[in-house]
Structure 1
Amino acid sequence: MPPAPDPDPRPADLHLTFPASPAVVRDALARMMATAPLLGLSDTRRGTAELVLAEVLNNIAEHAYADHAGLITVTLRAGSQGIACLVVDLGAPMPGGVLPDRGLPARAGLALADLPEGGFGWHLIRSLTRDLAYRRIAGANRLSFLLPCEGEIP
């Protein structure tokens, strides 16, 4: 009998499709965090991945599907540079067909209660990822980004 093959040392890719509702997004995110390739990250990198993915997925549920139900597909692939992420939905396109601006929302002199609600999430996403790109192709929003390796934290 031939010997069993050596196990593949690379973390497995993950591919999930789920409805874009807050409760299901929360459950899907918990599943992603408990499965390779995110499971194998350090606590710090797992926290970063969870923050970025939660922000992206909640934005889709809240904004892209604001007026109708739909699905989100997430693909995570481990590579030498980090975790490559692709998030696809069929919701409304990004305003103007582009990612929101890089900067933080204007807040000089504002009291905490008067700070704007939006804009901070995209600043976090941009700060914690690399190679962030958005495209609208054939009615689908495609957001891709890299969660860098431990030594390459942006």
Structure 2
Amino acid sequence: MIFVTVGTHEQPFNRLIKKVDDLVASGDIKEKVIIQIGFSTYIPKNCEAHKMMSFDEMQQALRDARIVITHGGPSSFIEALQFGKVPIVVPRQEKFHEHVNNHQVEFTKLIAERMNNIIPVYDIDDLKTTIDNYDQIAKTKNVGESSNNKQFNEKLEKIVDGLAK
């Protein structure tokens, strides 16, 4: 199963949701896909869609997923990392009116370079190839206790909590 989450930001992330839905429609993705669509206005026709999900539903989807695809919000991909997943991260981009600026692109680049524990996708047309090659790509990433993911997650959580106050 593939789980896609776009978080709770009030701007739509139709670009990602439509791309995943199109990949299922064309048969490029053959497994079940669950998408948390948030405030997106595009409603998938070929995937199980939820506007929002409870904490328990999100945890279960993250646990069950073979692949997790998230937007570039830290809490979304940190959760995937906490479940031992190497998330595919598609940051929201200002030019598509998905966010107020490009901080998700910048943050995704920073984490990909420093931690090497996520799979960034900046061009939505690269998503199919990334999904097709996910298992091989994920093997090249830092995962598990030896990669300091747990320490990274704890430190980043403190930073994010501090910023949110």
Q: Give the TM-score normalised by the residue count of structure 1.
A: 0.30
Q: Which has the higher strand share?
A: 1
Q: Which has the higher helix share?
A: 2
Q: Which has the larger radius of gyration?
A: 1
**Scaled by the length of structure 2, what TM-score is found?**
0.29
